[in-house]
Amino acid sequence: MGRRGRILGVIAVIALLVGLGGCGGSSAPTRPSSIPASSTTSATPGTTAPPPTTQAPAPLDVRVYLLHGETIDVAHRTVPPTVRTATAALDELLAGPTPTERALGLTTAVPPGTRLLGVTIAQGTATANLTAAFASGGGSLSMRTRLAQVTYTLTQFPTVNGVVYQLEGTPVTVFGGEGIMLDHPTTRAMFEDLTPAILVETPGAGSAVHSPVRIAGTANVFEAQFEAELTDSSGAVIATAHVTASSGTGTRGTFDTAISFPPGSHGAATLSVFDTSPKDGSRIDLVQIPLQLADS
């Protein structure tokens, strides 16, 4: 082989070595590109990826504060999902008791035809703008109980501590012919005399309940202690609980407990809450709430 052939051979060998170096793997493998945490696997070519599923908002349970005799009582209503829960609750209150609630002895002092014109909430105070019908008719008891109903209904929400009133957009500082002063926000404490010693806010009268039944509300009883008893349609006691409120003996406290009933129990039942007289052991401050037991 001549000199020219040797040179061409060396060049070929060098080219071959360079090509092998470019195709070979390095000691540190290439890192694959990252997939963002929010990404999803690509759909098969020619198909459309299914849209993400969303669950429809659940209906809301709101409390409506009505009357049983001359004291505050509670009913539960189911309303469509909304961010304006205070408005929804007040609209339910102004609609008055349902036929079922009236059959249970619940009434209202809010005059028929009263409508809500708006609710605003700022810095813990709700402003309720109502039509002029809200101030029509009734004596001082009727006036105070209707104010108590609105106050209780709005203060069920943790963002509301007190309520101020407007009629047709005009601020109200003196309410009704009885001259009830409203120069500061109304609170639940202002209507202690219209509130039963034990106010059960959950469950509501006529509710269908599963075991364990949550019992919650407020109480102002001796030493903050009272009893809860669940009886079936025959009057037989099927569950009991001893309840202790956060305060008592002149100061209203809160309570939140549960009472379990036997498996298989169903049908009409009555929840009774009561204090025991320190004098003779008799039941006092008795409140009875009709319920429907549902199998767990």
The span from the CA of 128 to the CA of 76, in Å, is 21
The span from the CA of 148 to the CA of 131, in Å, is 17
3-state secondary structure of 261: coil
The span from the CA of 251 to the CA of 221, in Å, is 8
Q: What is the pLDDT along the chain (296 residues), one digit of tens a residue?
A: 444 444 334 334 333 333 433 433 333 333 233 323 332 333 344 445 556 667 888 999 999 999 999 999 999 999 999 999 999 999 999 999 999 999 999 999 999 999 999 999 999 999 999 999 999 988 999 999 999 999 999 999 999 999 999 999 999 999 988 789 999 999 999 999 999 999 999 999 889 999 999 999 999 999 999 999 999 999 999 999 999 999 999 999 999 999 999 998 999 999 999 999 988 999 999 999 999 998 65
Q: Is 189 exposed, middle or buried (0-12, 13-18, 19+ CB in 10 A)?
A: exposed
CB 146 within 8 A of CB 169: no
Q: Which strands sit side by side in the sheet containing 253-259, from one edge to the other?
A: 198-202, 213-219, 253-259
pTM, rounded to two decimals: 0.79
Peptide bond into 171 cis (omega under 30): no
Residue type, 145: T
The span from the CA of 40 to the CA of 113, in Å, is 55
The span from the CA of 238 to the CA of 230, in Å, is 6
Residue type, 131: T
Q: At what angle do helices 140-154 and 85-94 cross, to 10 degrees?
A: 150
**What are the structural domain ranges in the chain?**
60-194, 198-293
Size of the chain, expressed as the number of residues it contains: 296
Any idea which fold 198-293 has?
Answer: Immunoglobulin-like (2.60.40)
The span from the CA of 287 to the CA of 66, in Å, is 15
